[in-house]
Chains A and B, each alone.
Chain A
């Protein structure tokens, strides 16, 4: 892989994860070693994809960063300060849209504004801008049930961005969508990211999705979840979907598949 300097590489990382470990017991009493000695630096404005098969602890890692779960060992630093629990510097987009059916699209996306006690008029104005950015203009007063799966996930992305977080954590956000919609959403997400310039921590088990979207791909293996490789993605932005059929792209995805080894996802 050609070595291109990542933006702001010399600066202190926005998030530093060092030697993180996590074990938990399932309801059946099985002891799961979810994460072992995981270290990642996230640079401000960077798009990082974590690629791994299911059960490799990548969702656990995201939940620790989101403050939903606690880690056993190691350290998570946010701007050099120890990180404990949830905080307003992160926005999360989950595997499913998790929109509340009793709220309209607009009410759903401003929910973080209300919970965090921020200015609702400003939040509403920002929500309308972001909804337009993701192509949901005119759907503000619809209920989630009236939206397609892709549109619901777009609304969820807006909700993740509404309070202007420094980091957007995304947990396989397009995993539940059909292949065509997923491809379109990848292009969309890149466009949104180029406008917003957030640090994105993107979890996926799709090799091509990781290679298409990320500045850097981190490959994880399961039981215990550890980092097996880290690859910089050299392609210029904005990336076109035709990139995915180029030889360079093919070489990168072949390399990533190789690193995933026998745990390769069947979804590609």
Chain B
């Protein structure tokens, strides 16, 4: 398998290189692989304390992504649980959920900058908002889809609402919850980057805008490679957590192949 992956990557890079070599696409449109590699090595070899270092920005992006994800996922899960358990909560929350769901949520990024400023708060908020919805929707479906015979087994034991939730609904919802969390972590990074484009002092989005203004396309590509790798690490971490917690599900790895 690894051989095939390596081979596929080699073919891709070779095609890219020949596209650059055998055509007259200017390097500010499509830089050569080797200049992207050079920009990447330059960006990651600098001290993390320097503003031109990728680490300086990546660390900030990562911090906002993870905090935003944690906040959004927590709110989403708690809200989903209360909506699933109490009709009053569901009816109260439904107009907002439906209304906000049809809104392209990244469009509120400028508003968040106005409210929270150019610091990390607006980034975290954007990441949290984007994480919240997929986690909420998937969680809600998960909590609702408990098998009837399991609920009857608990009813026969006169189990309380909390006991039924804790022993049946919550563990049973985990595969769906993880499906939501997988989307959530990707969206959290998306939200952070968009927020950094809109207005921030640090972050991968900020350095990409700077590189773009000086037409350093190779630098932009290098930043993208680094972001892609970071996303991969985040998703892999999530998958590891899922394998530990949802080892029992027949199709535990629902997001395989993404």
| A and B form one complex | yes
User: Closest CB-CB distance, A125 to chain B, in whole Å?
Assistant: 20
B168: contacting residue among A88, A100, A114, A143, CB under 8 A: A100
B42 sits at the interface (CB 8 A): no
B149 sits at the interface (CB 8 A): yes
Inter-subunit contact B157/A68 (CB<8 Å): no
Chain B residue nearest to A67 in the complex (CB):
B156
Given A115-B163, A145-B248, is A100 in contact with B150 using a C-beta cutoff of 8 Å?
yes
Interface centre among A115, A116, A143 (most CB of B within 10 A): A115
B157: contacting residue among A96, A101, A116, CB under 8 A: A116
Chain B residues in 8 Å Cβ range of A253: none
B89 sits at the interface (CB 8 A): no
Chain B residues in 8 Å Cβ range of A254: none
A92 sits at the interface (CB 8 A): yes
Inter-subunit contact A101/B158 (CB<8 Å): no
Chain A residue nearest to B159 in the complex (CB):
A115
Inter-subunit contact A68/B156 (CB<8 Å): yes
Chain B residues in 8 Å Cβ range of A114: 167
In the assembled complex, the Cα of A100 lies from the Cα of B153 at a distance in Å of 11
Inter-subunit contact A101/B249 (CB<8 Å): yes
User: Closest CB-CB distance, B154 to chain A, in whole Å?
Assistant: 7
Interface centre among A67, A87, A111 (most CB of B within 10 A): A111
In the assembled complex, the Cα of A66 lies from the Cα of B163 at a distance in Å of 18
B231 sits at the interface (CB 8 A): no
In the assembled complex, the Cα of A86 lies from the Cα of B156 at a distance in Å of 5
A11-44 interface code vs B (CB 8 A; 1 in, 0 out): 0000000000000000000000000000000000
A67: contacting residue among B158, B174, B246, CB under 8 A: B158
In the assembled complex, the Cα of A66 lies from the Cα of B159 at a distance in Å of 13
Inter-subunit contact B152/A143 (CB<8 Å): no
CB contact list, A64-110 vs B, under 8 A: 66-68, 85-88, 90, 92, 94-96, 98, 100-102
B155 sits at the interface (CB 8 A): yes
A86: contacting residue among B155, B163, B174, CB under 8 A: B155
A63: contacting residue among B150, B152, B163, B248, CB under 8 A: B152
User: Closest CB-CB distance, A59 to chain B, in whole Å?
Assistant: 11
Inter-subunit contact A86/B158 (CB<8 Å): yes
Inter-subunit contact B158/A102 (CB<8 Å): no
Q: Is the interface of B mostly helix, strand, loop or mixed?
A: helix
Residues of A within 8 Å of B, CB-based: how many?
Answer: 24
A101: contacting residue among B152, B167, B248, CB under 8 A: B248
In the assembled complex, the Cα of A178 lies from the Cα of B156 at a distance in Å of 27
Chain B residues in 8 Å Cβ range of A87: 158
User: Closest CB-CB distance, A78 to chain B, in whole Å?
Assistant: 14
Inter-subunit contact A90/B156 (CB<8 Å): yes
User: Closest CB-CB distance, B26 to chain A, in whole Å?
Assistant: 57
User: Closest CB-CB distance, B179 to chain A, in whole Å?
Assistant: 17
Inter-subunit contact B163/A94 (CB<8 Å): no
CB contact list, A193-211 vs B, under 8 A: none
User: Closest CB-CB distance, A201 to chain B, in whole Å?
Assistant: 13
Given A115-B163, A143-B248, is A94 in contact with B171 using a C-beta cutoff of 8 Å?
no
User: Closest CB-CB distance, A177 to chain B, in whole Å?
Assistant: 17
Inter-subunit contact B248/A66 (CB<8 Å): no
Chain B residues in 8 Å Cβ range of A67: 155-156, 158
Inter-subunit contact A115/B149 (CB<8 Å): no
Chain A residues in 8 Å Cβ range of B150: 98, 100
Inter-subunit contact B158/A68 (CB<8 Å): no
A112 sits at the interface (CB 8 A): yes
B149: contacting residue among A88, A90, A94, A111, CB under 8 A: A94
Inter-subunit contact B163/A102 (CB<8 Å): no
In the assembled complex, the Cα of A221 lies from the Cα of B152 at a distance in Å of 25
Inter-subunit contact A92/B156 (CB<8 Å): yes
User: Closest CB-CB distance, A158 to chain B, in whole Å?
Assistant: 14
A-B contact pairs, 10 of them (CB 8 A): A68-B156, A86-B156, A86-B158, A100-B150, A100-B171, A102-B174, A111-B157, A112-B157, A114-B167, A145-B248
Question: Apart from A67-B158, A96-B149, A111-B167, what 10 extra A-B contacts exist at CB < 8 Å?
Answer: A68-B156, A86-B155, A87-B158, A90-B156, A95-B149, A102-B248, A111-B157, A115-B157, A116-B158, A143-B248
Enumerate the 3 nearest inter-chain pairs by beta-carbon distance, A residue then B residue, closest first: A86-B158, A101-B248, A92-B156
